[in-house]
Chains A and B, each alone.
Chain A
């Protein structure tokens, strides 16, 4: 069989198991294939659950054009780890919005999982989790980013989030004076 392959990435392309339909095959924007347990995908991602229920899963690789291979690999990795370490569905808050579901602190393995990610990989994973409707993964990754932001200056934050400063010098000075206590002497 043939699948689209990224340049020089054939060795990383996983073969679709023809007989095994306990898994779904996902295809990243750059054409790499990843397999994930159907049960875990449906449990952790509202979008994948909808696609599985709606029969719009492609055995040869469901296109996820918005997600790069590195992020998709992390998504799949998370699903597998989650399946192995969570005995019950108690932690899964899919389809519950952020302001009603009490957030449970990341588990030890979840902390390790996000801690090893580079800055860019973490942000990519947030986007992927958001796109796939993976509420718990979104919680865990956003929690990590919020921890990274503690004590940072507005300049540092603009850099991290790629934001342009659209204040005038005078406006910024005004804000700093008004909220002086919240600024460090820098």
Chain B
């Protein structure tokens, strides 16, 4: 009989759980190392499940709300092959609310023509205090979507996966294309500024009072409110898109 070789400590192996797990009983479910659960399993569950699982225990909530997890989840989920989807909204069941839906798009090359319904909409989230009759979707970035209520001159940013949303501080009114008409001379974009790790909203509009074009930026994390974009004055010729359907150009202005 020769001596047996023992397993060397490997850098790939995580710290062992201090408690040996109970084995194969009805009331004894197995437990896995935290690192495996968080990095390899939870990063793969859909966002709605990941949000609900915050209610499992304190450790899970801490892990699921960490920046590390958010970034990993985005990366892992983004690499999963998915057909493109469109997002749209309609008035929700409750008065003054808006329901958001997503629907997969299939093209002719997708082997989907098996007689099944080509595309059905899935309800994502419903947001109260948001009137679908006065709402423009102004593009998205990194999982966040920018919404604009022209009638209120109010911007909102929503995470359509988790339903979390913030209303941006009040901003100056944009001039209307036709007096008392529904269209305002304003467009906005949501972008991500990597260096400070912050989402920013940039709006280009014709000021309702001075009739001059203005450009303002608001950082979602700094919370300093709207401020004029640094540098030169906005050229007169830079006229904002005069539509409800604002441009979706994202920008990362300072």
Contacts and interface: CB of A to CB of B under 8 A. Distances in A.
Interface of A: 1-3, 27, 46-47, 50-51, 54, 56-66, 98-99, 102-103, 105, 119-120, 123-124, 126-127, 130-133, 138-139, 142-143, 145-146, 149-154, 157-167, 172, 175-176, 179, 181-183
A56 B5 contact: yes
Contact of B41 (A54, A65, A142): A142
A119 B36 CA distance: 16
B46 interface: yes
A61 B61 CA distance: 43
Contacts, number: 159
A167 B58 contact: yes
Contacts of B51: 179, 182
Interface string B38-56: 0111111110110111111
Contacts of B81: 105
A58 B4 contact: yes
A99 B80 CA distance: 12
B40 A98 contact: yes
A138 B31 contact: no
Given A157-B53, A160-B29, A58 B72 contact: no
A98 B39 contact: yes
B18 interface: no
B79 A63 contact: no
A145 B41 contact: yes
Chain B residues touching A, range: 35 or more
Interface centre among B6, B28, B52, B55 (most CB of A within 10 A): B55
B57 A158 contact: yes
B195 interface: no
Contacts of A127: 32-33, 36
B8 interface: yes
A1 B16 CA distance: 34
A133 B75 contact: no
Interface of B: 1-8, 10, 12-14, 16, 21-22, 24, 28-33, 36-37, 39-46, 48-49, 51-58, 60-61, 71-72, 75-76, 79-81, 125-126, 162-163
Contacts of A181: 125-126, 163
A124 to B, nearest CB: 7
Given A130-B36, A146-B41, A120 B57 contact: no
Contacts of A103: 76, 79-80
17 contacts: A46-B10, A62-B7, A65-B6, A98-B39, A120-B30, A130-B12, A130-B33, A130-B36, A133-B10, A133-B12, A146-B42, A162-B22, A162-B31, A163-B31, A166-B58, A175-B61, A179-B54
Across the A-B interface, give the 6 residue pairs with the lowest CB-CB distance, nearest first.
A133-B12, A146-B44, A58-B5, A162-B29, A142-B40, A123-B30
A157 B53 CA distance: 8
B41 A60 contact: no
B12 A46 contact: yes
B4 A130 contact: no
Given A163-B60, A166-B57, A63 B32 contact: no
